[in-house]
Structures are given as structure tokens and as C-alpha cells.
A and B are shown apart, each in its own frame.
Chain A
Amino acid sequence: DAGVIQSPRHEVTEMGQEVTLRCKPISGHDYLFWYRQTMMRGLELLIYFNNNVPIDDSGMPEDRFSAKMPNASFSTLKIQPSEPRDSAVYFCASRLTSGSGGELFFGEGSRLTVL
């Protein structure tokens, strides 16, 4: 299996622009998570889905952030409009409902820089 695939790996944009990050989870995994990582705050859960349905979005910082999962093999995290404080590495992770003690499989991350 190719693992969790994220794109783009790097994104540099200007304040006010729309940013869309993409994720393809591991085939067969029924949970998908979006995390944000910064030096100051470490890894923070933004939102997670179960069987394509958003379960908990309490970590989404503002209405500027939105996430969708239209099918089992694709999810997007959108920031509109972007701000410099959104600069971070965004990780997508997936896992199975059972087995492996809930191990999360992370993608390589999307490094976002908002100027």
C-alpha cells in the first residue's frame, strides 16, 4: 500500500488567498483525521471523519477552515481566506476501526506558508 498520500507537499501563498490541501487515506481505513503541527503548539487535531461523515470538528480554529470527505478515498481541507498565522504543517492520518490498537498512519504532511 502506498500509505496516506497528501498534496501539495509545500504551498506558499499570500494572505487572503484560498488554500486547498488534499488527502488520500489508506484503502480500507474508515477513519480520517486532519492535524496541524506548529513548533509552539505541537500536533493539534482539527477534525476527523468516520465513514466519510465528520464526527468532531471542534478543533477547527475558525470558520475560515472547512473540510470535506466526498468519498472513502479523498478528503480536502480548505482555508479561505488564509492568514499568516495559518502557516504550519498540516497532516492527514487514517486508521481502521479495530486492530493495531488504534494506530494512526500519517501522511508526509503539507507545509503551508502564508505570506
Chain B
Amino acid sequence: KNQVEQSPQSLIILEGKNCTLQCNYTVSPFSNLRWYKQDTGRGPVSLTIMTFSENTKSNGRYTATLDADTKQSSLHITASQLSDSASYICVVSASGGYNKLIFGAGTRLAVHP
């Protein structure tokens, strides 16, 4: 069964600290993996996309990694800011079309001053 599991479920960190969010998937065959950021009361917005051949990709203070062998991805946030408080959703696309998306439950991150 295709599944995406994220951990931790929620996380509280102090402003300026780093954190890492995890995503494990069992989707096969794999096409790509996206991280979305969802602010409270808003729709999700794509942060990064990782394809099979990519190990690391950065978007400002966000760095995503992918290990296709172990089927794990992580999202690292450097020097967190209050505006990073949001839910982060891992979405895996199965081969055969970008419409076969499997969503993780998300990690809710709270950055405190």
C-alpha cells in the first residue's frame, strides 16, 4: 500500500534554531517528492521538488534531502524565523502521472520568540 509517513507530528523550536522534519514513504514506483508549506488558514505552497536522481536541493533556508534507496526524505530549516511556523506536508508522486499523489499528514512547526 502506498503510504507517506511524517515525523514528528508537531515540533516547537526557538527562533534562530535549526530543525529537521522527516518523511518516509512506501510509494512505488516513485516519481518525485515535494515538500509543501501550509500557513494557518492558507493553501499549501510548494517549497521544493526532489526527483529520483537528486539527493539535495535548497530553497533559501530550506534544504531538502532524498535517499531513494531507503525511501526517506528530510526537510532542514536553518536559522528558523517566526514566519516558518506552519504545517509542512510531504507529497509523493507515483509514476504513471502527476495525479497519483500520496500526501503525508504533515508536521506542525511552531517557532517561538
Partner-B contacts on A (CB < 8 A): 4, 31, 33, 42-45, 48, 55-56, 91, 93, 95, 100-104, 106-109
Contact = CB atoms under 8 A, between A and B. Distances in A.
Interface of B: 32, 34, 41-46, 49, 51, 89, 93, 98-99, 101, 103-106
Contacts, number: 46
Contact of B93 (A4, A55, A102, A107): A102
A101 B43 contact: no
Closest 5 CB pairs of A and B: A102-B98, A106-B43, A43-B103, A101-B49, A42-B105
A23 B51 CA distance: 30
Nearest to B46: A103
Contacts of B106: 42
A104 B42 contact: no
A56 B98 CA distance: 13
B43 A4 contact: yes
Nearest to A50: B99
B99 A55 contact: yes
B32 A102 contact: yes
Contacts of B45: 106
Contacts of A56: 99
Nearest to A35: B103
A42 B103 contact: yes
Contacts of A95: 98
B105 A91 contact: no
Contacts of A4: 43
A75 B43 CA distance: 17
